[in-house]
């Protein structure tokens, strides 16, 4: 019985070493403070991928793997995992949510999209995941649609505030 207790204690200690909860409301990713509302973020060096969302628990990030990716990819991964909170297991919808967030928050650029697509290149579909090529096409489409909306909203707000090219009185 004593040995069983020691094994349980050691397993708990190992789990604590491998998974750490980030106590802050946001986490630094590529020098940017990023958050997912009140969703907790955990660091998990045993995770076989950059990030994962676990419903009812939070976002798990493998910072070792994340550091191997360019900044735009790291931020995209975080927002992709955050999007799963809203869209469930739909990978394309989570990709779209990340692309829209990146366009809205201005940390994702066309060059950043290229980096994300490069990271996805060669990924074959299967197990609930679309192919890297399908995901890349979807990300580009969602980003383009979001960017067009942002430009349209800016141009309308400039005209409404009198800072557009039209002069009043005409």
Which pLDDT does position 36 carry in this prediction? 94
Supply the pTM of this predicted model. Answer: 0.75
Report yes or no on 65 lying in a domain: yes
Task: Determine, yes or no, domain membership for 114.
Answer: yes
| Residue 106 belongs to some domain of the structure | yes
Indicate whether 138 belongs to any domain.
yes
Q: List residues bridging with 27 in a β-sheet.
A: 34
Residue written as token pair 């489409």: 141
Residue 2 placed within a domain = no
pLDDT per residue rounded down to tens, the chain (170 residues): 444 433 333 333 344 444 554 444 578 999 989 999 999 999 999 999 999 999 999 999 999 999 999 999 999 999 999 999 999 999 999 999 999 999 999 999 999 999 999 999 989 999 888 999 999 999 999 999 987 665 545 545 444 444 333 333 32
In a domain, 61, yes or no: yes
Residue 103 lies in a domain: yes
At 6 the pLDDT is 36
Structural domain including 24 reads 18-154
User: Which ranges in the chain belong to alpha helices (H)?
Assistant: 2-18, 63-66, 71-87, 91-105, 110-120, 132-160
Number of separate domains in the chain: 1
């Amino acid at each position: 019985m004593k040995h069983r207790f020691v094994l349980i204690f050691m397993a708990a200690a190992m789990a604590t070493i491998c998974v750490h909860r980030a106590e802050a409301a946001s986490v630094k990713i590529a020098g940017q403070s990023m958050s997912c509302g009140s969703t907790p973020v955990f660091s998990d060096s045993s995770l076989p991928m950059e990030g994962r969302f676990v419903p009812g628990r939070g976002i798990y990030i493998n910072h070792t793997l994340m550091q191997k990716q360019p900044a735009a990819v790291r931020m995209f991964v975080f927002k992709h995992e955050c999007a799963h909170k809203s869209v469930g297991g739909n990978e394309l919808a989570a990709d779209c949510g990340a692309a829209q967030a990146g366009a809205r928050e201005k940390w994702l650029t066309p060059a950043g999209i290229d980096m994300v697509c490069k990271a996805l290149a060669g990924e074959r579909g299967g197990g609930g995941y679309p192919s890297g090529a399908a995901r890349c096409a979807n990300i580009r489409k969602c980003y383009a649609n979001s960017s067009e909306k942002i430009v349209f909203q800016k141009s309308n707000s400039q005209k409404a505030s009198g800072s557009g090219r039209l002069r009043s009185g005409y």
